[in-house]
Amino acid sequence: MKADHLEQAIETVRGKHVIVSFSGGKDSLVVMDLAVRHAASVHAFFLELLPLTVMDAQLAIAEQRWGIPIRRLPHWLRYEYWKFGAYCFHHSEMAELRLNDLYGVIRKESGAKLIVTGAKASDSLWRRRTGVAKFAGDDLKAPLWHWSKKDVLQYLRAKKIPQPDNDGRNATGIDLSYPSVLWLYDNYPDDFRRLEQLYPFVGAIIKRREWYGYSGGAKEKA
């Protein structure tokens, strides 16, 4: 890891009152650790599609490690899925919930302004194209923007922070993407059944694999 990258990340949070956008993934673990070590105060929130035991466990471990309660908020994707009928019945009357609305909630509750995320330029081409403007202000920052995946893993090893259990993508958390649903079905069947209660047609993803084999963006882990 380049020393200047670490120092830049530390300077992003040093002495400030910050809110960590915590996903449970590798990047957000690093951001949480940096914030607890160097910020003046730390609050945290997690956007959840629905309550799942796999995420309950990851959040409990994080809260115990850092002593920071993690506020749960409904993920804006939940309303997008319902509104447009993704693996569920169409709810055209569904009110739109935007990410900025959720940011406003946690800022009001915590009294802090600066939200920090685990976003990195190396995550994707889309992230690189949109991130420069997105993180240019004073109220939303990405301390790991110039980090690589290798940097993140090196930091976790140095601080003895275990890697989280996830579906292997760069993105983290549970959504209705192909790799995420298959991973949940294979590893946490009870959670998959909870997912089906809200999105009753999500089993189509399982049938697709049965009929045509696996073809997804991340390596499947059974």
User: What whole-number distance in Å separates Cα of residue 35 and Cα of residue 10?
Assistant: 8
Structure tokens at 208: 């697709």
User: What whole-number distance in Å separates Cα of residue 26 and Cα of residue 170?
Assistant: 9
pLDDT tens-digit readout, 100-128: 999 999 999 999 999 999 999 887 676 66
Q: What per-residue confidence (pLDDT) applies to 136?
A: 73
For 3-167, CATH number out of 1.10.10.10, 3.40.50.620, 3.60.150.10, 3.30.470.160 equals 3.40.50.620
What contacts 132, CB < 8 A, 6 or more positions away? none
Query: How large a percentage of the chain has pLDDT more than 70?
Result: 88
Q: Is the pLDDT of residue 37 over 70?
A: yes
User: What whole-number distance in Å separates Cα of residue 83 and Cα of residue 93?
Assistant: 7
Q: What per-residue confidence (pLDDT) applies to 222?
A: 37
pLDDT, averaged across the chain: 88
The DSSP code for 19 is E
Q: What per-residue confidence (pLDDT) applies to 52?
A: 92
CB 169 within 8 A of CB 218: yes
Total-model pTM: 0.87
Q: What per-residue confidence (pLDDT) applies to 107?
A: 97
- In the chain, domain spans: 3-167
